Amino acid sequence: MRQIIFPKLLPSLVKFVFAAGIVLAMPFATAQDDDDGRRAPPEARSSQTLSRQVFTRINEVMELRDMENYVEALQVLGEVRELFDRDRLNDREKFVMWQFFANIFQIQENYDQAIEAYEQIMRLPNLQQEQLEQTLFYLGSLYYVQEQFPQAIQQFTEYNNIALEPNEDVYFRIGTAHYQLEQFQESIPFILRNMEILRSKNEAIPKNTYDLLRALYFNVEDYVKAYQVLREAVVLYNDPDDWVLLPAVLGQIERFQEQGQSYYVNDVLGHLDSDAQLINLAAQLYNSDYPYGCARIMERGMADGIIEQDEGNLSFLSTCYQIAREDAKAAPPLERAAAMADDGELYARLGRIYSTMTEWEKSIDAFNQAMEKGSIDRPDQVYLSMARAYMELNRYDEGLEAARAAQRDERSRDTARTWVTVLTREKERYETLQRQRRELAEFFR
């Protein structure tokens, strides 16, 4: 006896059409002739067989469906429906009829009517285990396609309650339905169960499953588990996007040393191709007490046209070089940044760098530009720095003027007075030396 072969459950979230996959090879009852030519009485029909009349109609439906003549296919099914309405169909015939109604409605993307057909199947008595599982699966899938996620969860849950074997696709769909409803905590166990089943079958877990689970952990702010999922995905798929995300997650769980290392590896692998990524790498090197490396990353990014040469980035580049005690390299980017700034703070900083380099003339020029731009937090400190630079150039009157200007600020008054005293004495000493040199020059003339 031949049996109906039902389509297997489809793994896709959206492809529910099993048109090409249905093979009908079903038994049917028929009258046979005796050896003497007399017609024998019809055999008693089982609830699991199709009559010749129904079998013929279903074959017509399949042929019309395969030719995409859905209107006529539904008309033929309507003839079978008339037998159903007169209670002339057995359990198998009812199931097959509603199954083909659902099938054709699905092909036409008429999901509401497909759902109604499957609901009719659920009302049938004596459903076999396979029929029940299949119907619940398709019901859940159709509700999912229509974004009726609570109903999809309900049908899939009923499927899980009666299924003889766990179906990883069902667990995945329940998880994603909860995710769509922003029920992130409820979603996690189902995605984990999906992965567990796949591992037990020694099957690969799709990349999008890792992405979903990581997103769920992010949404519930469990960054430690999000990092574990991401790290496993990096090992399995070596996706550049995962590599780039890795340092951000490490920062969330305050594993800063590993964060810096992951940024460095990303750079070596060539995964950093945006200004934000390179600046983050530079910042990590800066925070890891490697300012020279920070400066080199910033400079390379600017040279490659990735990092914009704006005020903030140029100032940061200068800072990295300055802390690395590379003042000669710190000055040029800072000078460009200072010219872009709206206030004089960067020029004041530039003046101090030139002072460190004992380039006193450049230092004074920078301090004067700082004063011209204005809006300096501590002009008194700038005046004191100018007093020092003027003294080094033996320009004591200008130095005294700067020191007296600093003296007007109460915060620097005592220091400024000291500078006035020092400058006055140095001026007197310098003038005395100059006078003695002139006198000696005249004596030996």
Q: Which of 37-51, 69-83, 190-204, 398-412 has the highest mean pLDDT?
A: 190-204
Can you give the pTM of this predicted structure?
A: 0.66
pLDDT of 29 above 70: no
Helix, strand, coil % over all residues of the chain, rounded to 5 = 70, 0, 25
Residue 24: its pLDDT value, please?
Answer: 41
Q: Residue 364: helix, strand or coil by DSSP?
A: helix
pLDDT of 433 above 70: yes
Residue 27: its pLDDT value, please?
Answer: 39
Residue 375: its pLDDT value, please?
Answer: 87
Nearest CA to 96 out of 169, 182, 163, 6 is that of 6
Residue 442: its pLDDT value, please?
Answer: 65
Decide: 235 and 243 in contact? Cβ < 8 Å: no
Instruction: Name the least confident of 70-74, 140-144, 433-437.
Output: 433-437
CATH superfamily for 273-377 is: Tetratricopeptide repeat domain (1.25.40.10)
Residue 367: its pLDDT value, please?
Answer: 94
Percent of the chain with pLDDT over 70: 88
Q: What are the sequence ranges of the domains in the chain?
A: 1-127, 273-377, 380-445
pLDDT of 437 above 60: yes
Residue 365 CA to residue 350 CA, distance in Å, equals: 10
Residue 445: its pLDDT value, please?
Answer: 59
Residue 3: its pLDDT value, please?
Answer: 31
Decide: 211 and 217 in contact? Cβ < 8 Å: no
User: What mean pLDDT do residues 423-435 have?
Assistant: 87
The chain-wide mean pLDDT, for the chain, equals 85
Decide: 49 and 92 in contact? Cβ < 8 Å: yes
Task: Say how far residue 177 (Cα) sits from the centre of its chain.
Answer: 19
Task: Say how far residue 350 (Cα) sits from the centre of its chain.
Answer: 40
Instruction: Name the least confident of 184-188, 327-331, 427-431.
Output: 427-431
- Identify the residue with better confidence: 326 or 445: 326
CA-to-CA separations, 75 to 61, 71, 94, 193, 364, in angstroms, rounded: 9, 6, 16, 44, 97
Beta bridge partners of 50: 28
- What radius of gyration do the chain's Cα atoms show? 42
pLDDT-based confidence at residue 64 (cuts at 50, 70, 90): confident
Instruction: Tell me whether strands 50-51 and 28-29 are parallel, antiparallel or unpaired.
Output: parallel
